[in-house]
Amino acid sequence: MGRPEARMLNDFLYLMNAELLVTLIIFILLFLKLSNEEWKNEGLLNFINFLLLINLAAGFFYIPNGNLFGDMFHTSELVTFEKNLLNLGTLIISLQSYDWLKTHKHVAEFYILLLSTLLGMFFMISANNLLMFYLGLELSTIPLAALSNFDLEKRRSSEAAFKFIISSAFSSGLLLFGISMLYGATGTLNFMGIKAHLNGNSFQVFSFILLLAGFGFKISAVPFHLWTADVYEGSPVAVTSYLSVISKGAVLFVMISIFYNVFTPIADSWYNMIFLISVATMIIGNLFALRQQNMKRFLAFSSIAQIGFILVGLSAQSTAGSSSVIFFILIYIFSNLGAFGVISLVSAVKGKENMDDYRGFYKTNPVLSWVLAISLFSLAGIPPMAGFFGKFFLLFAGAGKGNYSLIIIAALNMVVSLYYYLKVIKIMFMDANEHPLEKIKTHWQPKIAMALCVGGILVTGIASGAYNYIHSLLK
Amino acid sequence: MNLSLLILLPLLSAVAIIPFKGARSARIISLISSSSQLVLAFALLYFYLNERSAGNTANMLFEDNYTWYAPLHINYHVGVDGISIAMILLTAFVVLAGVLISWNVEKLGKEFFFLLLFLSVGAYGFFISLDLFTLFFFLEVAVIPKFLLIGIWGSGKKQYSAMKLALMLMTGSAFVFVGLIGLYLNTNTGNGQHTFDILQIAQMNIPLSVQKFFFPFAFVGFGVFGALFPFHTWVPDGHSSAPTAASMFLAGISMKLGGYGCLRVATFLMPDAAHQYSWIIIVLASIAILYGAFATMMQTDLKYINAYSSVSHCGFVLLGIGILTKTAITGAVMQMVSHGLMTALFFAGIGMIYDRTHTRQLSQLGGLLKIMPFISTVFVIAGLCSLGLPGFSGFVAEVTVFMGGWSRADNFYRIATIVACASIVVTAVYILRAVGKAIMGPLNVGEGDSSLLRRAAGGGVDAKWNEKWAAALLIIGIVAIGIAPFWLNDLVTPATETIMNKISAIVK
């Protein structure tokens, strides 16, 4: 295959194709911004969404498999699939933000920051080494703080950014502490090396707890969830949806690969921790979600509860567990983004974000109401929406361990969560209102995003292809 | 015959409604669809009887089995026996009657018929499923349309009732879920693989400890749907707030999902536990029968009367299942069909009265026979069927349950049977009181609805064509069972025998 350097370069281009493509888009946007040419926002957005579409499509064409940089970076069919999921979510969010961004002054910067975080997540997922993982994590977190501040005139937005940067700095600190202790305990940062040296002594378990706390912050699991609601409420809706779906999804992907492949020698210890965190997350997320009046805060707490359910699947320690978690994230992308799509539209066009503003929404906006309703049904786990299958499989995998108490708690929590999802449905469909929000006209791009979400919700569960594919990747 | 047609037909017609504007095309599509469903159900019955008389003794007929989620061993597996066919026929009758009775729904008509059809998808799917996952899927499919039907088109404290119903039923299905998962994880089809297949699980011997742990989950879960005391409290509120067609569906079909589930899943798959717990089931069912009957006596709202009496009547279903004899279980199935038809007719009658007088309070009604003879007759027939008059289906079903109960030579069972019998007297009291007050006596149509009386003078307030057809349909069903109960009995008995064969090995 020619000279070694040429092979290096070829490998580099092949294996990192997803990362390189995102980097390329970032550079294109940077040059656009630097050139003297003034772009109209509409044109720019169309162009960017086109690039993102290419980015998504490219992920399906060539599926690389291999290692780079002395085993620091690895990629496989599964990793590529996870990256494709993140790409898909990013595209949907970008399409949905059209109405918000078209009057914004800094469109190019928004996307440069957004894609930087995406790039960070790619590195994080592909990491085969704790340093590489940490690098990716930071790259994906710091620009997000800047993004939270993107409603430039609003004080709440800067407040959100501030809270976000402080809490993520704190969690990164914990994570780094854990990593260094783990290095001290095992003498290596490479995942496989760590696995070989794990023997379950208390020092190692303690360092694992620190790592878990770091992860817990990122996915806002109880008791590390306190930043979530304020940040979600203050940030622009596009960023909120990105935070709640993409960034959590990426961290969950990493958690699966690390927990299932690296920390297997101490599986019993982490099972108990995940069990406790999962129960607490479900219960507290649900209880707080019951009383929320702001749509974004409401979805923030409901997403905390969803994380609790995901952790049930994660606790399964079986192929069924890992595939159900990845499958659920796919469904969660569609369901949560479907809900956020409507909320973002209402917020961008009408500036309303409270539940009460949605009274009688069905009268004036039947289609949007159905989109929101279908998304919420899916989040609540009601058939025939995909969320039903997602939740069923998560609990199902969790039950495989033989711990029925977890399943009983989770099943009852599903009923509690149903109450607040139905409450929103009730407000939209049943509450009378003299002056409901007027009919909202929108561009075709958000419409496509919503159609994608609804289509995904209706098809992903009934057609078993997606789950079977994920399962085959994990075998 | 392809059973999936039963799911596809209502599903496709519900989807076909979406592109049309307005209620008119929606109701025409629904009418065509629901009458075809009835034809399909009769065709199914015909083919089924043909197969049986040709000597096919398989447990289930017309089976279809496709792999759905291979890694989790979830299949789409459907098939029918006599019990399922009886329930499918019931569903088809009630759906058609419900569509007819809702002919004049104007408010959001398109959505209304969409939800009605969607609800029937859930019911048909549930009754033909032979895979626990598919069964659970369809059970939950049927919940949310009810929530929307009650919350949007209902009356009274509809939002409260809708929420209560949805949450209680979903709690029930959460219990069912735990029961199903427990069953699944304790099956073994060789080399540690599990299965959801009802027929396969029925062949296995699930350990007694497992059965004893998961039977309560499954039974109580389905029991919530079937108004098992003390989980029946959604019934009165839900029924009385629902629009007429939704009440008919709720009482006629949805509550049967519970009874059917208790029988097909809980009792059939966990017979040892069913035997052990049967005394609890009997006690709870007897309480429901008596309590429901006495609670009905206190009601003044016609819909509440029928709702509480449904609690009492559905108690017979659970009692029949609890007694665990072949006759009693056959009686339970017959009671499900009978109660489904009868209560649908009752709700139809009440709905028709309410549409005209705008009141359901007994104190504000009287002498309706004078101005609306047809509707009043419907009401009386439903009432007589409810109190178990021979010649109607209620009598046949209840007597079968009693016979089944008495045949167990054990004082406990006999006392339960006597208690249940005694409730019939109470039933007679409240039914005759309601009939006497509302139908007979001096004319009274509530406060100052003078336009009604003026129109009545012209003879124009009696039932319309659609209402007449709906009522006629249900009455035909009731009388057909009442006069010739043997056809239903013959249809159901082989299936109950299969269930009993599993149980009698334990009872003896």
| Interval B408-430: pLDDT, tens | 878 888 888 888 888 888 898 88
For B159-180, write each residue's pLDDT tens digit. 899 999 999 999 999 999 999 9
The shortest C-alpha distance from B196 to chain A (Å) reads 12
Q: Which residues of chain A have pLDDT under 50?
A: 1-2
The shortest C-alpha distance from A460 to chain B (Å) reads 12
Contact call for B70 and A407, based on CB within 8 A: no
Which of A392, A419, A429 has the CB atom closest to B152's CB atom? A429
- Per-residue pLDDT, B464: 81
The shortest C-alpha distance from A5 to chain B (Å) reads 43
In terms of Cα–Cα distance, which of A331, A430, A321 is closest to A380? A331
- Per-residue pLDDT, A318: 87
As for how many domains chain B has, the answer is 1
In terms of Cα–Cα distance, which of B253, B317, B256, B263 is closest to B121? B253
Task: Give the mean pLDDT of B256-284.
Answer: 90
Report yes or no on A3 lying in a domain.
Answer: no
Residues in chain B: 508
Q: What is d(CA B496, CA B488) in angstroms, rounded to the nearest whole number?
A: 12
- Per-residue pLDDT, A123: 92
The full DSSP string for B146-205 is: HHHHHHHH--SSHHHHHHHHHHHHHHHHHHHHHHHHHHHHT--SSTT----BHHHHHHS-
Task: Give the mean pLDDT of B53-78.
Answer: 86
Return the minimum-mean-pLDDT range out of A421-425, B83-87, B185-189, B314-318: B185-189
Which of A363, A376, A379, A464 best probes binding to B when mutated, by most B CB atoms within 10 angstroms?
Answer: A464
Quote the domain boundaries for residue A143. Answer: 13-474
C-beta separation of B240 from B304 below 8 A: yes
Task: Give the mean pLDDT of B367-374.
Answer: 82
Which of A418, A424, A454 best probes binding to B when mutated, by most B CB atoms within 10 angstroms?
Answer: A418
State the average pLDDT for chain B.
87
Q: What is d(CA B185, CA A297) in angstroms, rounded to the nearest whole number?
A: 38
- Per-residue pLDDT, A386: 92
Q: What is d(CA B364, CA A259) in angstroms, rounded to the nearest whole number?
A: 69
- Per-residue pLDDT, B446: 67
Q: Quick one: pLDDT band at residue B457, thresholds 50, 70, 90?
A: low
Which of A382, A393, A464 has the CB atom closest to B68's CB atom? A464
Strands B61-69 and B365-366: unpaired
B221/A contact by beta carbon, under 8 A: no
Report yes or no on A436 lying in a domain.
Answer: yes
- Per-residue pLDDT, B221: 93
In terms of Cα–Cα distance, which of A311, A333, A309 is closest to A416? A309
Which position has the token pair 């930087």? A116
Chain A from 424 to 453: CB within 8 A of any B CB: 425-426, 429-431
In terms of Cα–Cα distance, which of B142, B128, B119 is closest to B34? B119
DSSP one-letter code for B59: S
Task: Residue A464: list chain B partners with CB under 8 A.
Answer: 68-70, 74
Which of B124, B168, B170, B217 best probes binding to A when mutated, by most A CB atoms within 10 angstroms?
Answer: B170
Q: What is the CA radius of gyration of chain A?
A: 22
Percent of chain A past pLDDT 70, that is, above it, reads: 98
Quote the domain boundaries for residue B223. Answer: 4-507
Which of B69, B71, B159 has the CB atom closest to A426's CB atom? B159
Name the closest residue on chain A to residue B72, using Cα atoms.
Answer: A320
- Per-residue pLDDT, B454: 67
In terms of Cα–Cα distance, which of B205, B185, B211, B208 is closest to B196? B185
- Per-residue pLDDT, A1: 43
**CA torsion through residues B331, B245, B142, B147, sign:** negative
* pTM (two decimals): 0.93
As for how many domains chain A has, the answer is 1
Alpha-carbon torsion, ordered B136, B141, B142, B146, to 10 deg? 140
For B76-88, write each residue's pLDDT tens digit. 999 998 899 999 9
Report yes or no on A2 lying in a domain.
Answer: no
**CA torsion through residues B313, B315, B319, B322, sign:** positive
Tell whether the model's pLDDT for residue B382 goes beyond 60. yes
Task: Residue A407: list chain B partners with CB under 8 A.
Answer: 178, 181
